[in-house]
Amino acid sequence: MRIPLLTAGSRRARSRSTEDDTDGRTAVAPQWKLVLRRFRKHRLAMASAVIVVMFALVGVFAEFVAPTTPSDYSADHTHAPPQRLHFVDTTDGVDLGLYVHGYESTRDEETLAREFTVDEDHKIPVGFFVRGEPYEMWGLFGTDRHLIGPEDPDERMYLLGADRNGRDMLSRIVYGTRVSLSIGLAGVALSFVFGIVLGGISGYVGGRTDTLIQRAIELLMSIPTIPLWMGLSAAVPREWGPLQTYFAITVILSLVGWTDLARVVRGRFLSLREEDFVLAARLDGCGPARVIGRHMLPSFTSHIIASLTLSIPLMILAETALSFLGLGLQPPVVSWGVLLQEAQNIHSIANSPWVLLPGVAVTVAVLVLNFVGDGIRDSADPYR
Amino acid sequence: MDTDSDVLLEVKGLRTRFRTDDADVTAVNGANLRLRRGRTLCVVGESGCGKSVTARSILRLIDPPGRIVDGEILLRRDGSDGRPAETIDLAALKPTGRRIREIRGRDIAMIFQEPMASLSLVHRVGNQIGEAIRVHNPMPRRQARQRVLELLDQVEIPNPERTIDAYPFQLSGGMRQRVMIAMALSCSPRLLIADEPTTALDVTTQAQIMDLLVGLQHQQDMALMFITHDMGVVAEMADDVAVMYLGHVVEKGPVDTIFHDPKHPYTRALLDSIPRIGGARRERLSTIRGTVPAPADQPSGCVFRDRCDFVMPGRCDRIVPPPIDLGPERHVRCLLHGGAEPEAEVTTSQEAADAG
Amino acid sequence: MWAFVTRRLLYMIPTLFVISLVSFAIIQLPPGNFINTFVAELRAQGQGVDNAQVRALEERYGLDDPFLVQYGKWISGILLHGDFGQSFQYQRPVSDLIWDRIGLTLVLAVCTTLLSWAIAFPIGVYSAVRQHSVGDYVFTFIGFIGLATPNFMLALIFVWISFRYMGESVGGIVSPEYADAAWNLGKVLDVVSNLWIPVLIIGTAGTATLIRVLRANLLDELRKPYVTTARAKGLPEWRVILKYPVRMALSPFISTIGWILPTLIGGEVMVSIVVSLETTGPLLLDALSSQDMYLAGSFILILATLTVIGTLLSDLLLALWDPRIRHAQTAKG
Ligand SMILES: Nc1ncnc2c1ncn2[C@@H]1O[C@H](COP(=O)(O)OP(=O)(O)OP(=O)(O)O)[C@@H](O)[C@H]1O
Ligand SMILES: [Mg+2]
């Protein structure tokens, strides 16, 4: 009984891998290597993966990458516009080296708004690994080295402009990268636990349990997410500290976001359950845990990785939306959504459109994560 | 022997290639075929040898990245149906153009391998057949419906009035294939291409469908190109046989000569693999050594040499066997029968006769 | 078919029940008793609140009762009298406040759905049929950007552009000059001219999703044997494509509408907040921030109910569209 099943399965597997790729090398390569090889051929996905890694590095080394700290303000530089980074000074002869021009600011008598003009004569040299605002790297040790910044620590540099309090947008976006990306990751990790446990149970056990979990998922999916998120996060007490709020928001995001993942996991489980090799393993007397862990999980890890990658952007978008509304993270925590709160004021947008730049960061991050996720999915299953 | 005026369609040196990122597959590599009115040509060969691609090439139904790169497909119209007598090279037509569309379904119709997937599941049977009628003979819906009922009756579908309003998913596989046949016959084509029409069906239904096809063919005096990999079916249906291997037509000829005097080692191997009723019980069926190589890496010289029991090293791997004429309408592509040095031919054909 | 409709309607009952439970739970989530907050607020404003009134309120909402009893009172009020409770902030019945806004939200959602379809259908078909063409790449790229940009961000950009280059600040569905006018052609045109950009913005993400879904489905379908059959009949190419594969590809497309709807409503809420349209969005946000929980809970309940109804409609549409589903359902029901 067992033997014909196994041969049927292995014959199918063999014929499939020869379809895959005709050379013998591929037929014996492990699954993940195949996926990786196909992924490398995806040019857009590869380029996006590089950008994702850069985002991650920026997030991890935020303190060092940022020219200054996010709370470093200057009352004289309210809504200062972005400066252009010059590479060569040609005013007298050719002088290689980075620099920016300073500002000349005047105050409008009527509106009291500051108006900035570029002061061509005021040259602020910019360098790498310069000393600047002191900070605590990962809360472990103090230092004042920054990847890039004005060589004179007393000068100010606003490559992406300044906000209402004269704080450097670039530095704030860099710090926001850490929070926004990590909340996306944490939210996905948590949804992953929910999704894989419930989806796995649903798909593996089947029957009434499956129906019950599926109904629950359908129910959750039918509630408009934004109002639900809004309702839940409104219940987070205002007096909670930044860390507590951070965790509360993560939990809320994943409470609503696990359903998709659970569906993917369940679908894969259902289709795999019918495959010969799982049946063969079962007839071999493996217990369910072993069947799931050893035989089913590895064969769809790449699908799950793809789904995970594709849900990170959704989390990021949700966090941004909530924080933008003032229901998510609260200042002084800096996330892209929190930064965008400043754009709620129409005069801020009208006079200093660079307050919208955190939104550009959101778009780019979401875009590249989508490309990477799609690339992984295509490589995991080229026939779908 | 029949005259040339009987020839409906002639395929000359057809070459169809699929060009993808990682491979260049020549699925049909220089095929020559001739189809005559009222006769059945059976095309046989193992899975993947290019039978379907040949058939689709004739109707220009090859999807990209496939393309006809060489050869002619000559359709002869004799002017009997009111249209001018002419010869059209289908290989030169635009695959989406008006000319080829006028030929599809009207001059040449086709039945496909999988009746399950070849009908739209969300359109009613009557709609799908009626459309095939109306595209070539514009007529009111009511009249077309009448004609569909006749057709359904003709393909022996019980209760046509019910079937005409059914969806294909409500029908059994055999019924669907009958619907496909009705659709193909709707404009009385002069050539019907049936691409393994019975492979997906059970044995009884297979026999019924084949009987139906043979009956209809005689009734309408059509040419029939019947694709199969079942030599038993060939013996039953064929007037002529073409044996394909890896994109090449390795042997062709009238059915009797193929069965009684097979020349190509591949044909012989195919015939040896048919189970015979009354054969020795314990005797094992012989199988062909090895497997079909992937079309992407064809061997040099003769494509069959890796699996051939009569391979001549030094010759078969260098010379591509040319078609050798062995009598009226009888061709073989094998160096054992010529195309290499003459003395080689004599000895090996003697050997071959012993073996056969 | 009728059995199917009835069955689906019956299915809705438990769904709606759970949704109402969730909505009520959300009302109850914030710590503290909201009547206390309310009274404290009034007192802080220097208004006297008489104790009888407080007790009447407490009585009415049964604030000392266990959760389920409170829920029972709330839901029976809604079911029996259409009474959604009292808004604390506005001191008016919730039902007075929400219906106008819900109506506008509904109008926006329907317009957006229709527009998304109208845009997504031709683009999706084109992109699939002309796969790898320049047009396909351009549409795919724009679609990706549309997916990746939060729609409130688009709304912000729109606000900025219209302020910067057209010198007007946006907002409002009815322009001031028509505010009190009766409905006439001018007013309708005015509303349309105010609405079409928000509709576009709300619909961007949904449209992009629909294009992707349709393109992927159609690419799958175009390779199916029945398409070859249709070609072999001698039909013109465009007729082959529109009649067969597009028809099939639309089935998943239609079922997509069910889950696009929650996204649409979410997007509508966000965008309305940014460009200050008088829909549910701003009032819901306001209610949530000021912990005006009956108002907020009712909004969530009604929006979720509408979504469930929308999903039902899209399922029915799908059954009408696809005979396989219709027959499978009839066989079961
Ligand atoms: N769309 C395609 N892309 C790439 N290669 C193709 C494509 N279609 C067919 N081929 C190639 O053409 C070869 C011949 O295929 P074909 O379908 O004609 O085989 P067949 O003789 O009909 O086999 P079967 O008996 O299984 O139907 C295949 O081996 C395949 O490699
Ligand atoms: Mg075939």
Q: What is the pLDDT of residues C65-116, one digit of tens each?
A: 777 887 888 888 888 888 887 777 777 888 888 888 888 888 888 888 888 8
Per-residue pLDDT, C174: 63
DSSP element (H, E) containing B325: strand B324-325
Q: What is the mean pLDDT of chain C?
A: 80
**Model pLDDT, residue A241:** 78
Alpha carbon of B309 to ligand 2 centroid (Å): 27
Tell me which residue has its CA closest to atom 4 in ligand 1: B18
Residue recorded with tokens 């073989």: B332
- Averaged pLDDT of chain A: 75
Of B84, B72, B89, B80, which Cα lies nearest the Cα of B37? B80
pLDDT at C215 over 80: yes
Pocket perturbation via mutation, ligand 1, pick of B17, B24, B25, B291 by most ligand atoms within 8 A of CB: B25
User: Is the minimum distance from the CB of B51 to ligand 1 under 6 angstroms?
Assistant: yes
Q: Of A286-300, B240-254, C161-175, which range is least confident?
A: A286-300
pLDDT, position A1: 29
The pLDDT assigned to B145 comes to: 92
Asked if the structure places residue C191 within a domain, the reply is yes
User: Is any Cβ of chain A less than 8 angstroms from the Cβ of C308?
Assistant: yes
User: Is the predicted pLDDT of residue A24 greater than 60, yes or no?
Assistant: no
pLDDT at residue A15 in the model:
38
Torsion sign, CA atoms B3, B9, B11, B12? positive
Question: Residue with the nearest Cα to atom 17 of ligand 1?
Answer: B52
Q: What is the pLDDT of residue B354?
A: 43
| Mean pLDDT across A23-48 | 68
pLDDT, one tens digit per residue, over C47-64 is: 766 777 777 767 766 666
Q: What CA–CA distance (Å, rounded) separates B315 from B302? A: 9
Does any CB of chain A come closer than 8 Å to the CB of residue B291? no
Q: Report pLDDT digits (tens) over C245-271.
A: 998 888 877 877 776 777 787 788 888
What is the C-alpha separation between A368 and B104, in angstroms, rounded? 47
Give a yes or no: residue C291 inside a domain.
Answer: yes
**In this complex, is the C-beta atom of C133 within 8 Å of any C-beta atom belonging to chain B?**
no
The string over C212-228, giving b where at least 16 C-beta atoms fall within 10 Å of a residue's C-beta and e elsewhere, is: bbbbbbbbebbebebbb
pLDDT tens-place string over residues B207-226: 888 888 888 888 888 899 99
CATH number at residue C228: 1.10.3720.10
Greatest extent of chain A over all pairs of C-alpha atoms, in Å: 93
User: Per the domain annotation, does C60 fall within a domain?
Assistant: no
Beta strands in chain C (DSSP E): 86-87, 92-93
Residues A147, A65: Cα–Cα separation, whole Å? 5
Give the whole-angstrom CA distance, residue A33 versus residue A26: 9
Q: For residue B81, name the pLDDT band (cuts at 50, 70, 90).
A: confident
Closest C-alpha among C305, C316, C10 to residue A224: C305
Q: Whose CA is nearest to atom 19 of ligand 1?
A: B48
From B219, B148, B140, B142, select the one nearest B186 (Cα to Cα). B148
Per the structure, how many domains does chain C have? 1
Q: What's the burial of A87, exposed, middle or buried (CB within 10 Å: 0-12/13-18/19+)?
A: exposed
Q: Tell me: the pLDDT tens digits for B6-47?
A: 888 999 889 998 887 767 888 888 888 899 888 899 999 888
pLDDT at B356: 35
Which residues make Cβ contacts (< 8 Å) with residue B151, sequence separation at least 6?
A: B129, B182, B183, B185, B186
Within an 8 Å CB–CB cutoff, is residue C159 touching chain B? no
In this prediction, residue A16 carries a pLDDT of 37
CB of B25 shorter than 6 A to ligand 1: yes
Stretch B76-105: mean pLDDT, rounded?
84
What pTM was computed for the model?
A: 0.80
A306: closest CA among A271, A277, A268? A268
- Please choose, from the candidates C197, C216, C214, C102, the residue with its C-alpha nearest in 3D space to the C-alpha of residue C151: C197
Bridge partners of A106, per DSSP, are A115
The confidence band for A237, taking pLDDT boundaries of 50, 70 and 90, is confident
Neighbours of B71 (CB within 10 A): 19
Name the residue range of residue C117's domain.
101-332
ipTM of the complex: 0.83
Residue C223 CA, ligand 1 centroid: distance in Å: 14
pLDDT digits (tens, 9 = 90+) for A201-212: 877 777 788 888
Task: Identify whether C125 is part of a domain.
Answer: yes
Specify if C229 maps to a domain.
Answer: yes
pLDDT of B345 > 50? The answer is: no
DSSP C221-245: HHTSHHHHHHHHTT--HHHHHHHTH
In chain B, residues with a C-beta closer than 8 Å to the C-beta of C247 are 120, 122-123
CB count, 10 Å around CB of B128?
A: 25
User: Is residue B103's pLDDT more than 80?
Assistant: yes
Chain A positions in Cβ-Cβ contact with residue C270 (cut-off 8 Å): 226, 321, 324-325
Mean pLDDT of B169-179: 88
Q: Bridge partners of B192?
A: B109, B224
In whole angstroms, give the CA distance from residue B324 to residue B321. Answer: 8
Q: Give CA separation, A226 vs A37, A317, A337, B199, C265, in Å.
A: 39, 11, 15, 54, 8
The alpha carbon of B48 and the centre of ligand 1 are apart by a number of angstroms equal to 5
Decide if C109 is inside a domain: yes
Distance C46 CA to ligand 1 centre (A): 86
Q: How far is the CA of B252 from the centre of ligand 2 (A)?
A: 19
Residue of A nearest to B296 (CA): A22
Which of B10-24, B282-296, C66-80, C278-292 has the weakest average pLDDT? Answer: B282-296
Strand ranges of the sheet holding B191-195, from the earlier edge strand across to the other edge:
B108-111, B191-195, B223-228, B40-44, B240-245, B248-254, B331-332, B324-325
Per-residue confidence at A376, pLDDT binned at 50, 70, 90? confident
Domains of chain B, residue spans:
119-188, 259-277+284-355
Instruction: Write out the residues of chain A at the interface with chain B, using a CB-CB cutoff of 8 A.
Output: 18, 21-22
H or E stretch at B253: strand B248-254
List the B7-19 sheet strands across, edge first. Answer: B24-36, B7-19, B66-77, B86-89
Higher per-residue confidence, B24 vs A301: B24
- Residue B149 in this model has a pLDDT that exceeds 90: yes
**The two three-digit tokens of residue B9, written as one number:** 């369609």
pLDDT at C253: 75
DSSP structure class, residue A295? I
State both tokens at C99.
């219906």
Q: What are phi and psi of B165, to 5 degrees?
A: -100, 10
Query: First and final CA of chain B: distance in angstroms?
Result: 27
Q: What is the pLDDT of residue C162?
A: 78
Which 3-state string (H, E, C) describes C48-110? CCCHHHHHHHHHHHCCCCCHHHHHHHHHHHHHHHCCCCEECCCCEEHHHHHHHHHHHHHHHHH
DSSP, collapsed to helix, strand or coil, labels residue B10 as strand
Lowest-pLDDT range of B160-169, B343-352, C171-180, C296-305? B343-352
Contact of B291 with B282, CB cutoff 8 Å: no
Any ligand 1 atom below 6 A from CB of B295: yes
- The answer, for A321 touching chain C at a CB cutoff of 8 Å, is yes
Element (H, E) at C273: helix C245-274
Residue C296, token pair as written in the block: 């907020």
Per-residue confidence band for A3, with pLDDT thresholds at 50, 70 and 90: very low
- Interface membership of C290 toward A (CB under 8 Å): no
Give the closest residue (by CA) to ligand 1 atom 12: B27
Is residue A288 over pLDDT 70? no
Give B20's contacts (C-beta < 8 A, 6+ positions apart). Answer: B65
Rounded to whole angstroms, the Cα distance separating A335 from B257 reads: 83
Most confident of B125-134, B253-262, C34-43: B125-134
Q: Which residue has the higher pLDDT, A82 or C244?
A: C244
Q: Considering only CA atoms, which of B176, B198, C160, C105 is closest in space to residue A359? A: C160
Q: Does residue C318 lie in a domain region?
A: yes
State whether residue A78 is helix, strand or coil: coil
* Per-residue model confidence (pLDDT) at position A282: 65
Query: Pick the residue with more confidence: A290 or B273?
Result: B273
| Distance between CA atoms of residues B119 and C15, nearest Å | 38
Q: Is the CB of B66 under 6 A from ligand 1?
A: yes
Give yes or no for a contact between C208 and C147, defined as CB atoms under 8 angstroms apart.
yes
**Which ligand 1 atom sits closest to the C-alpha of B54?**
18
Averaged confidence pLDDT in chain B = 82
